[in-house]
Amino acid sequence: MIHLENVSKRYPGGQEALSGLDLDVETGEMVFVTGHSGAGKSTLLRLIALIERPTSGQVIVDNCNTRKVKRRKIPAYRRQIGMVFQDHKLLYDRPVSDNVALPLIIAGVRHRDAIRRVRAALDQVGLLHKEKQSPETLSAGEQQRVGIARAIVTRPKLLIADEPTGNLDPDLSLEVMRIFRRFNEVGVTLLIASHDIALIDRLGCRRIALEEGRLQPAEHDSWL
């Protein structure tokens, strides 16, 4: 599903976020990317979401070489990927249901279908009863679940999440991870950036450790 080949990303300041990274994520996998802040986790996800482009190397997502995606085609490309953010990125001027419906509106789904699918997505994260509320009235954990519902409402094959539990306490984090797990069980490929190693180990998923833009050999080997 995701294939990185010798990917480097250097920012204008000269700082190298990723250097010569090779990485493979198979379809149906649930993989965690760990590392200190600044290790390149976010950059990796941003390259996959085409928020940024690599300085060199290939990023291939679902058989599509992102280098060949023209600027004009980026929106259509992004619609194929579900994204979850540390700060949820919800819109607070509209109710929960409208937040979840946003990707469907962007995709031009019929209103009736959209309503049905929004309810289904909210049901999957256990927030159907709060669909009419404003996101502001929800707890941090609930807001993150709304963010997840929004990410999966278009039923993407790939879901990427950048520190989805970064602002949550351990119990809520575990709950969020279990939701991810359930999506993984129905075939969604997940790539999750997190530094919560204890939690990841409890889930027993594959873990990729980044350090200064490279794969950390020890971690990598231990998994192999």
Residue numbers at the binding site for other proteins (CB under 8 A): 49, 51, 61-64, 68-69, 72-73, 75-80, 83, 85, 89-91, 93, 102-111, 113, 150, 154-157
Given the complex with other proteins, which of 110 and 129 has the nearer CB atom?
110
| DSSP state, residue 11 | -
Given the complex with other proteins, which of 111 and 206 has the nearer CB atom?
111
Contact yes or no for 97/118 (Cβ under 8 A): yes
Contact yes or no for 26/78 (Cβ under 8 A): no
Residue 203, both tokens:
């889930």
Q: Report the first-to-last Cα separation within the chain, whole angstroms.
A: 19
Q: Other C-beta atoms within 10 Å of 69: how many?
A: 17
Residue 161, both tokens:
């999440």
